[in-house]
Chains A and B, each alone.
Chain A
Amino acid sequence: MPVITYREAVVRALDEEMAHDENVIFFGEDVGKAGGVFKVTPGLYEKFGGDRVRDTPISENAIIGAGVGAAVTGLRPVVELMFADFAAVTLDQIINQAAKFRYMSGGQLKVPLTIRAAQGAGQGFGSQHSQCVEAWFMHAPGLKVVVPSTPADVVGLLKSSIRDDNPVVFLEHKSLYTEKGEVPDGPDFIIPLGVANVVRKGTDVTIVATQQMVKVSLKAAEELEKQGISCEVIDPRTLVPLDLETIVNSVKKTGRLITVEEALHAGGWGAEVATQVTEHAIWYLEGPVIRVTLGASIIPFSGPLEAFLLPDKDDVIKAVHRAMEP
């Protein structure tokens, strides 16, 4: 199987879907001629031309709005927001327009729009360019929310997102762009939305983690293995729809649940998963459900502070120990 980077996975999926369906168009700030600010989308402008791949002015409302309008009238747009934090500039178009259009029109309209953006911390970009924002969109029924952690997931899930008839917020983690991984060859490779990935099998504790935190959790699991604790690590990959079944089945087996996310404690996806698991499997739980998060903070610029804030292997190990306390 070919090994590619997470960054290359984005352009592979876009390339395949643009070749597959001429209704797929792509636009955003400096995504065309310059190949993207994160150098994620090179070559598309040259290959598919300036009609289908467009550079826009710095106009997030106009970008998402044009995506919505094109989507309800027959195209299948992919738009880029660059840093996910900039979604805040255009929450109206995403939350009031894209998410609600189908519902408000009594099912007359569909919005096959994919909104790509790079989220996440770890690189010193400061408070307004580093946040994980998936929770913003989980609170807007009508949207799907995708958070890939590997190159294969990027390819498979981005293709699914583009083919989906609903608006999808596709959040790439900018610290993962250089991550390498095997991706099955061929244009037929696709991963459906709403199917979790059991990244590591285990019997004592279920750890649910996304994006950067999958790696962190796997490292913790390795170390815990040496201590005789067997962890099952699950990457939900999509938060809406959420593959609750896989998570609940795992907890029924292990009796313990830890969620690990690079986001805030209050109102994060971990809170949602924890609640849903208690609703569906409380009698199977043998210890407290513990969320490993950023706590209540804002991503700081200063290197030591940013590193301190981000959950690491030791935070996960501590949480597992707490959950295992008799």
Chain B
Amino acid sequence: MAEKLSVETRQHMLKKMLEIRYCEERIQELFLENVIRGTTHLCIGQEAVSLAMAANVDAKRGDTVTCTYRGHGHALALGMPLKSMMAEMMGKASGCSKGKGGSMHLTDMEVGLIGTFAIVGAGLPVTNGAALTAQIKKTGAVSISIFGDGTPNIGAWHEAVNLAAVWKLPAVFLCENNLYGEYSAYGDTAPVPNVADRASAYNIPGVIVDGQDVEAVHAVIKTAVEYARAGNGPTLIEAKTYRYKGHSRSDPAAYRPAGELEEWLKRDPINLLADKMKADGQLTDDQLASMRKAAEKEVQDVTEWALAEPYPSLESVYEDIWV
């Protein structure tokens, strides 16, 4: 059992997980209503990893994060304002990337988020560069790269992990193993039972953790961050988790065996934390119900606000190409 976090931290994590959950559900609806265009990748079911990661990131110290197109949860957990994210989803001028990025390209350096990369594997090499800055400038900062279970099949993944290992970069490689990469089951595309098994090829620690238990994930990331800051180099963490929805908007996830989702729903990350807090006398059912309501309302209010926001000016299409 992982160390218990403070009641304030737990409350914050629960609140944020609820916010992410409702936000993702609302985004899905807005897609179906054609308010949000393109594609989107939801993290429903994986919220604990986002919160555990964010609690170990200190943007003031210079810590940075790279993650994937499945990045709404990470962005919000890090502290990106909900308004800034929702407006970006709709391509509005007040979005974090002025509407030019969209669901797959969220950046907010205020909270340390370099980007949510839409090219599989592209985030890890960039995290190395951020870790290199920290190493050379001796800032004590770390960079965390988050990616999926399909990503270690990309060459760039191996180049990046190898480089971080030989340069002992202050980096953490955090895999969210949600069992599938698009429509392919993890085992159909990788020869090792666990992503973490690949760590031995680079002589770095490889750790497997229950991705639904926010405190457990928090503890292993904390250790990895301290290890990296002490100059020992990167750790590969594999959080076993599950995406409740399909890969993207257009995927009904028909490839999943019957009953699999139901099994995972029994270990929902929000419920797991709420149950712990109830057992420790830190939360009542009524309090939880009102937290849910508050999160839902906040998402709803922000959605209404974002809908009314203006689109970027047409001239802005040619802005921000060069400095």
Check if B100 sits within 8 Å of A127, measured CB to CB: yes
Could you tell me if B188 and A55 are in contact, using CB atoms closer than 8 angstroms? yes
Cβ of A308: which chain B residues have Cβ within 8 Å of it?
314, 317
Q: CB distance B100 to A305 under 8 Å?
A: yes
Instruction: Pick the residue among B39, B92, B155 that contacts A302 (CB under 8 A).
Output: B92
Contact partners of A304 in chain B: CB under 8 A: 91, 311-312, 314
Kindly report which residue of chain B lies nearest to residue A123, judged by CB atoms. Answer: B38
Which of A302, A303, A308 is packed against the most chain B CB atoms within 10 Å?
A: A302
B321 at the interface (CB under 8 A from A): yes
Partner-contacting stretch, out of A29-37, A151-159, A209-217: A29-37
Q: Give the nearest-CB partner of B255 in chain A.
A: A34
Which residues of B sit under 8 angstroms from A298, Cβ to Cβ?
100, 321
A300 interface residue per 8 A CB criterion: yes
Q: Which residues of A contact B105 (CB under 8 A)?
A: 126-128, 301
Query: Quick one: given A34-B183, A127-B100, A301-B105, are A59 and B119 in contact (CB under 8 Å)?
Result: no
Contact with B311, one of A55, A57, A125, A305 (Cβ below 8 angstroms): A305
A37 to B41, CA, bound (A): 14
Please indicate the chain B residues that have their CB under 8 angstroms from the CB of A296 in the complex. Answer: 318, 321
Residues 34-82 of B at the A interface (beta carbon under 8 Å): 37-39
A245 to B58 CA separation, bound complex (whole angstroms):
63
Question: CB distance B151 to A61 under 8 Å?
Answer: no
Evaluate contact between B38 and A125: CB separation under 8 angstroms. yes
Q: What chain A residues lie within 8 Å of B255 (beta carbons)?
A: 33-34
- Whether the pair B184, A55 counts as a contact (CB closer than 8 A) is yes
Q: Name the distance in Å between B102's Cβ and chain A's nearest Cβ.
A: 3
A19 within 8 A of B: no
| Distance between A213 CB and nearest chain B CB, rounded to angstroms | 18
Query: Is B120 engaged at the interface, CB distance under 8 Å to the other chain?
Result: yes
- Per the bound structure, the CA–CA distance linking A303 and B101 in Å amounts to 11
- Tell whether A61 pairs with B311 under 8 Å between CB atoms, given A128-B119, A301-B38: no
Residues on B with beta carbons closer than 8 Å to the beta carbon of A129: 39, 104, 118
Contact indicator B154/A302 (Cβ below 8 Å):
no
User: Is B223 part of the contact surface with A, judged by Cβ < 8 Å?
Assistant: no
Determine whether the beta carbon of A30 is less than 8 Å from that of B318.
Answer: no
Report the contact-size class of chain B (Cβ under 8 Å from the partner): 35 or more
**Residue among B99, B103, B184 with the most chain A CB within 10 A?**
B184
Please judge, given known A-B contacts A125-B39, A128-B104, whether A58 and B120 are in contact too, CB under 8 Å: yes
Bound form: Cα–Cα A200–B105 in Å: 41
The answer to whether B29 has its CB under 8 Å from any CB of chain A is no
In angstroms, Cα B110 to Cα A232, docked, is: 54
> What does the 1/0 interface line of B135-174 toward A look like (CB < 8 Å)?
0000000000000001101111000000000000000000
Q: Is B181 an interface residue (CB 8 A)?
A: yes
Tell me whether A37 and B182 are in contact (CB under 8 A). yes
- Write the nearest CB–CB distance from B113 to chain A, whole angstroms: 16
Answer whether residue A282 sits at the interface, using C-beta atoms and an 8 A cutoff. Answer: no
Residue B300, interface by CB 8 Å: no
Residues of A124-168 whose CB lies within 8 A of B: 124-129
**Neighbouring A residues of B99 by C-beta, 8 Å:** 300-302, 305
Q: Which residues of A contact B39 (CB under 8 A)?
A: 124-125, 129
Instruction: Kindly state the separation between the CA atoms of A56 and B156 in the bound complex, as whole angstroms.
Output: 17
Q: Is B189 an interface residue (CB 8 A)?
A: yes
Complex: A123 Cα to B40 Cα, angstroms? 12
Q: Does B190 contact A (CB under 8 A)?
A: yes
Contacts of A303 in B (CB 8 A): 37, 91, 311
Name the CB-closest residue of A to B322.
Answer: A296
Contacts of B37 in A (CB 8 A): 123-124, 303
CA distance A62 to B317 in the complex (A): 36
Expressed in whole angstroms, the Cα–Cα distance for A123 and B248 within the complex equals 15
- A57's partner among B101, B150, B316 (CB-CB below 8 A) is B150
Q: Which residue of A lies closest to B156 (CB)?
A: A89
A56: chain B residues within 8 A (beta carbon): 189
How far apart are the CA atoms of A231 and B156 in the complex, in Å? 49
Q: 1/0 contact trace for A56-77 toward B, CB 8 Å?
A: 1111111000000000000000
A124 with B38: in contact, given A30-B184, A301-B105, A304-B91 (CB under 8 Å)?
yes
What residues on A are CB-neighbors of B103 within 8 Å? 126, 301
* Chain B residues closer than 8 Å to A86, beta-carbon distance: 119
Q: Contact at B190–A57, with CB atoms within 8 Å?
A: yes
- Contact check: which of A89, A126, A297 meets B104 at CB < 8 Å? A126
CA distance A58 to B184 in the complex (A): 10
Bitwise, A290-310 to B at CB < 8 A (1) or not (0) is 000001111011111100110
Between-chain CB contacts (< 8 Å), 24 pairs? A33-B183, A33-B255, A34-B183, A55-B189, A56-B189, A57-B184, A57-B190, A58-B120, A58-B150, A58-B182, A125-B39, A127-B101, A129-B39, A129-B118, A296-B318, A301-B91, A301-B97, A301-B104, A302-B92, A302-B99, A302-B102, A303-B311, A305-B100, A308-B317
7 smallest CB-CB distances across A and B, nearest first, come from A301-B102, A302-B91, A124-B38, A124-B37, A57-B153, A302-B99, A57-B189
Further contacts, 17 of them, CB under 8 A, given A303-B311, A305-B317: A30-B183, A57-B190, A58-B181, A59-B153, A123-B38, A125-B38, A125-B39, A126-B103, A128-B104, A129-B39, A129-B104, A296-B318, A296-B321, A300-B100, A301-B97, A301-B101, A301-B104
